[in-house]
A and B are shown apart, each in its own frame.
Chain A
Amino acid sequence: MTEKRKLRKEPLIKLSRREDIDRKHSWTYRALAIIAALIVDAVIIMCVVHMNPFDIYSTMFMGAFGTSRKVWITLKELSLLLLISIALTPAYKMKFWNLGGEGQVLIGAWATALCMLYLGDKLPGPVLLIVMLLAAVVTGAIWAMIPAIFKAKWGTNETLFTLMMNYVAIQLVAYFIIKWEVPKGSGHVGIINQSSQAGWLPYIGANSYGLIVALVVLVTIGMHVYLKYSKHGYEIAVVGESQRTATYVGISVDKVIIRTLILSGAICGFAGWLLVSGSDHTITTTIAGGMGFTGIMVSWLAQFNVIVMILCSFLIVFMGQGASEIATSYGLNEAFGDILTGIIIFFIIGVEFFIQYKMHVRKSSGKEEA
């Protein structure tokens, strides 16, 4: 090291990437972080609302698993969040900042509702379901493809573009809600085809959510294979690491961007189809419920590993169900549950940071060259 560089002042805190950490250790740290978060939550529960934290935790647990119905609701919510996270993953792995998941789901839901309303009494059940599915997948794909083409051809900023496409979708759906509302002026479409159940996803046995869970499991496995073992998946990874490298090895970056976003949007549209046909049977502007954004967090927290995403979305859904249960049981506002969830997520993001980076604090003796 030269004299000049030695003289330069060393920063107080320096970060470097960890290369050495093994899986066993990293999972131990993650577990410790969650325990630490639960302890902090417990302290807050005791200090702010003066209740026994174990009561709160067990009530939250019952909120997600208390009855078979609750288990199914939790599984459905988990499936939908997971599906949307999976839809966003290929784009993020490619470092394409798709903030438009919400709009892509919504537009898929809109297309589904449109088919249910106008074709509900014209087509036989299975054909109608397939037409609805195709409509949802295609509109979702188009909604994602538009910003992708602009990015690939003219280098527009995809963050803003995809974000703004959400608002276009919301306004479009708001317009159609006023067109379809019953009764006039109420702002509600109500349950579509409530008596005929035309276009409703069939029940498996007595359970209405079984098919949703099964379909999401299939997509999850499919995406895992696609990203890990297919040529496309490899291309996505290369483009994400470095576009120059991709170009150098002969990958057409534009093509990969557009192709991946079509896939991403199509799965979001699929999620919209499941929401309308399988669960809500109506259309509202808030039907995606923010999952298009929560899914981004799930995807990044899991570092694009499809299997880890199951755990992440489970955690978020579990906390959400728990939060509404403590609101019902103890009269605590749901916002309190959100605070507890926020703390846990804060700790998880924190531990991910320290697993990936090592922090060096400057020592006064200055023997860091060693």
Chain B
Amino acid sequence: MKKVLSLVLALTMIFAFTTVFTGCGGSEEGGEEGNSDQAMKAGFICLHDENSTYDKNFIDAANAACEELGIEPIIKTNVPEGQECYEAAAELVDAGCGIVFADSFGHEDYMIQAAKEFPDVQFCHSTGTKAHTEGLDNYHNAFASIYQGRYLAGVAAGLKLNQMIEEGKITADQAKIGYVGAFTYAEVVSGYTSFFLGARSQCESATMEVTFTGSWYDETLEKEGANKLINDGCVLLSQHADSMGAPTACENAGIPDVSYNGSTIEACPETFIVSSRIDWVPYYKYCMEAVQNGEAIDADWTGDLETGSVVLTDINEKVAAEGTTDKIAEVEAGLKDGSIEVFDTSTFTVTVDKEKGINANAEVDGDGHVTKYMADVDTDAEYQGDTDVIEDGAFKESKFRSAPYFDLQIDGIKLLDTAF
């Protein structure tokens, strides 16, 4: 048996080595291909696959943008936020991709690692924060001003609350919104706060409770979190986590739901109101066209309502309150021409508690309105505030960096747990 075994092992090794050498030849060919514009390929690295609403949003955009530009997409799914991300990026370069995109926050460091190693290839990372300080020509961040979309979705939620109050289903005091968040990270805080401000702009008595799961994708935890909020008396839910957990819990309990990243109307026809999402097609097209034309890509790109990066899905007329469509169009016009600011500091108050470290970077006037806030725009290990982001009476989100940095805790929102 030992003879057979050693033979097999020897064969495997010979085989591996021959493929190493032939493989080297192969990758060189791939490199040549990547140089000619017609054969340009684009690589996409996704944390999960299309079963996650978050990743599906990226995958759909990747396919749509590539089809429009006639570029071949190579999509790698289920790539964890570890060395695998660097390996996937390097493999995509080997396969001849002139540009590589990644979709998850934790991919950032590994994308930077790859960008340093392959200076001729462009690396674009959505949701990241380091490009504007990293100083690499071929590494870029992007985000969209999704807080505007959240605000619009919040308007729909506020109208729904008003309808429920009018119909006598709840009293004005009971207009409590529940929100399932992933982490106490700025992206989530910015999301639920803008959603809440949108809702309160329509329904003055609205309050909110937020629970965190400690994971971007955990169907069970999200479902449990949603059920906890429903049992706690929340009459309308929204979420910032990527599974179908919260929408499903709402459908089972008959609680209206504003979802995220795409419509959940098929699974939740009786409770789905509307959903906001980032449309990545404009960004993907912008980057790939820049590569085709040999132009530079912005280190830090922010899409908004104007670029078509922030969009709402169709409204579910069956659940939404009457007049929602018109109201949203009105507010959207206001956001576009600047007459409405989502984080207008006169619309919310904050309580500063320096001892507990709550809103410690904020300065407020006698009424609790923010006058100065040092946000952590440049990422470092100390995460100290470095930029004042209050201008003209508004908290300017996504202006100094594409990724959100709004992390104030405003009055009217109760955090049930902040362990994460």
Which residues on A sit within 8 Å (CB–CB) of B106? 186, 188, 190
- Shortest Cβ distance from residue A186 to the other chain B in the assembled complex, whole angstroms: 5
> In the complex, A281→B214 CA distance in Å?
22
Q: How far is the CA of A328 from the CA of B205 in the complex (A)?
A: 50
The answer to whether A324 touches B78 (Cβ under 8 A) is: yes
Contact among A182, A281, A331 for B83, CB-based, below 8 A: A281
B residues less than 8 Å from A314 (CB atoms)? 12
Verify if A178 is at the interface (C-beta below 8 Å from B): yes
Query: Chain B residues with Cβ under 8 A from A68's Cβ?
Result: 20-21, 23-24, 27
- Complex interface: chain A residues within 8 A of B21 (CB): 68
> Is residue B349 within 8 Å, beta carbon to beta carbon, of the partner chain?
no
Q: Is the CB of B76 within 8 A of A186?
A: no
| CA of A346 to CA of B22, assembled, Å | 33
Contact of A185 among B16, B75, B94, B185 (CB under 8 A): B185
Partner of A334, one of B5, B49, B376, B383: B49
For B108, what are the chain A residues with a Cβ–Cβ distance below 8 Å? 190
Q: Which of B109-117, B172-180, B270-278, B284-292 contacts A (4 or more CB under 8 A)?
A: B109-117
Say yes or no: is A15 at the interface (Cβ < 8 Å to chain B).
no
Most buried by A among B50, B74, B215, B420: B420
CB distance from B8 to the nearest CB of A (A): 7
A268 CB within 8 Å of chain B: no
The reply on B201 being an interface residue by CB < 8 A is no
Query: Which residues 279-328 of A have a CB within 8 angstroms of B?
Result: 279-282, 284, 286-287, 289, 307-308, 310-311, 314, 324, 327-328
Q: Kindly specify which of A69-77, A86-94, A158-166, A362-370 makes contact with the partner chain.
A: A69-77
CB of B90 closer than 8 Å to a CB of A: yes
Cβ–Cβ contact B27 & A69, under 8 A: yes
**Residues 31-88 (chain B) with a chain A CB within 8 angstroms:** 49-51, 74-78, 80-83, 87
B94: chain A residues at CB < 8 Å are 67, 69
Checking A23, A280, A286, A333 against B49 with a beta-carbon cut-off of 8 angstroms, the contacting residue is A333
Quick one: closest A residue to B19, CB to CB?
Answer: A65
A183 within 8 A of B: yes
State how many residues of chain A have any CB contact under 8 Å with chain B.
43
Whether B78 lies near A327 (C-beta < 8 A) is yes
Nearest A-chain residue to B382, judged by Cβ = A182
A196 contacts the other chain (Cβ, under 8 Å)?
A: no
B272 to chain A minimum Cβ distance, whole angstroms, is 25
Are the CB atoms of B105 and A327 closer together than 8 Å?
no
**Cβ-neighbour of B186 out of A185, A188, A191 (below 8 A):** A185
Q: In the complex, A69 Cα to B5 Cα: how many Å?
A: 27
Using A187-B214, A327-B49 as known contacts, say yes or no to A65 and B16 having CB atoms under 8 A apart: yes
| CB-based nearest B residue for A188 | B106
A284 touches B379 (CB 8 A): no
User: Given A73-B87, A190-B108, A307-B5, is A328 in contact with B77 using a C-beta cutoff of 8 Å?
Assistant: yes
Give the distance in Å from the alpha carbon of A308 to the alpha carbon of B4 in the complex.
12
B379 touches A183 (CB 8 A): yes
Q: Tell yes or no: B147 within 8 A of A by CB.
A: no
Shortest distance in angstroms between A34's beta carbon and chain B's nearest beta carbon? 12
Residue-wise interface mask of B (123-163) relative to A, using a CB-CB cutoff of 8 A (1 in contact, 0 not)? 00000010000000000000000000000000000000000
Chain A residues with CB under 8 Å of B5's CB are 307-308
- A284, B381: Cα distance in complex, Å: 17
Contact B8 A311 (CB under 8 A): yes
Contacts of B416 in A (CB 8 A): none
Inter-chain contact B83/A186, CB cutoff 8 Å: no
Cβ-defined contact, B16 with A328, below 8 A: no
Q: Could you say which residues of chain A place their CB within 8 Å of the CB of B26?
A: 66-67
Q: Whole-angstrom distance from the CB of A72 to the nearest CB of chain B? A: 8
Q: How distant is the Cα of A58 from the Cα of B182 in the complex, in angstroms?
A: 40
Tell me if A27 counts as interface (CB < 8 A to partner B): yes
Please give, as numbers and ranges, the residues of chain A lying within 8 Å of B30 by CB-CB distance.
67
A65 to B20, CA, bound (A): 7
Cβ-defined contact, B184 with A185, below 8 A: yes
Asked if A310 contacts B78 (CB within 8 A), the reply is: no
- Closest-CB distance, B393 to chain A (whole angstroms): 26
How many angstroms between the C-alpha atoms of A88 and B320 in the bound complex? 58
CB distance from B193 to the nearest CB of A (A): 14
B129: nearest residue on chain A (CB-CB)? A183
* A177 CB → nearest B CB, Å: 10
How many whole Å from A283's CB to the nearest CB in chain B?
10
Q: A279-B83, A284-B82, A308-B5 are in contact. List 8 more A-B contacts (CB 8 A).
A: A67-B27, A183-B129, A186-B106, A187-B183, A190-B106, A282-B82, A328-B75, A334-B77
15 CB contacts below 8 A, A to B, read A23-B1, A65-B23, A67-B24, A67-B30, A68-B21, A69-B90, A187-B183, A188-B105, A280-B82, A284-B80, A284-B82, A286-B80, A328-B74, A328-B76, A334-B49
